[in-house]
Structure formats: structure tokens, C-alpha cells
Amino acid sequence: MVKWQIRADMDEIDLNAAYGAYLAVFSIKLHYSGSSRSFLSLDCVEEGKLLYYHFKKPFSNLDIGLYALASDRDIHHLSTFIGNHKLIDVYTKHGKIMLHTHFVSPNPNKNRIQ
């Protein structure tokens, strides 16, 4: 089984070749408060502040493709993508967020009116 590991941004790896045999194994690219870091230092973490987590639907954009990671249902929604997509972008944000749906993720089956 594949084990947890932290890779630097410059490490090149074919994720489909490495994880293709494992349907439940994938990589997370963490975007911490607006930046992508290869390693998150504990000095960067602000204690006592609310931290929101979202993932970006593969092949989507940040305007319509962000989904909350706040409940088991949200994690299940994320898991529907990892069989075919081995890299998931996860975004964090301190304090207030502009999405009103953080604790109630949008239903992916509903149509969006632009």
C-alpha cells in the first residue's frame, strides 16, 4: 500500500502511474491562505482562528468549482473524483469567506443559473 509522504513542488511524479492501481489513493496540493507551499511550517499556522477548507472539482475553475470540506457528505463528494483524478487541489482560508454554502455544499446535480 502507498504510504503518506510530502513531496516538494519540483518533484516530478506520474501520479497515474504511481497510484493508478489504487482507486482510493490520491495526492493533495494544499493552497494555504492564497499560496501553494511545498511544505507548511508550523510558524505559518494562526492558532485560534477559524480555518475553512474547500476542494476544487477537477477541470473546473475557482469561480464555480469550489466545494466545501466541512462534513462527511463533503468528503464523500470529494471521493467520487479520486478514482479518475489523482491530484486534488485543496484550498484553506482563515476568518471570513465569501461562499455562503460552506456548511451546506452545493448539490452537484442541480443546475446553476448564471
What pLDDT, on the 0 to 100 scale, is given for residue 23? 82
pTM for the full predicted model: 0.68
In a domain, 3, yes or no: no
pLDDT > 50? residue 112: no
* Domain total of the chain: 1
**102 in a structural domain:** yes
Specify if 32 maps to a domain.
Answer: no
- Residue 56 located in a structural domain: yes
Q: Is residue 41 part of a domain?
A: no
Residue 73 inside a domain? The answer is: yes
Phi, psi of 88 (to 5 degrees): -115, 130
The Cα 51–Cα 93 span in angstroms is: 6
Q: Is residue 112 part of a domain?
A: no
Query: Of the given ranges (43-47, 75-79, 91-95, 103-107), which has the lowest mean pLDDT?
Result: 103-107
User: Could you tell me which of 105, 99, 91 has the C-alpha nearest to residue 53?
Assistant: 91
Q: What is the pLDDT of residue 34?
A: 59
Range of the domain at 101: 46-107
pLDDT digits (tens, 9 = 90+) for 2-49: 567 777 766 778 888 888 888 888 888 888 765 555 455 555 556 667
Residue 99 within a domain = yes
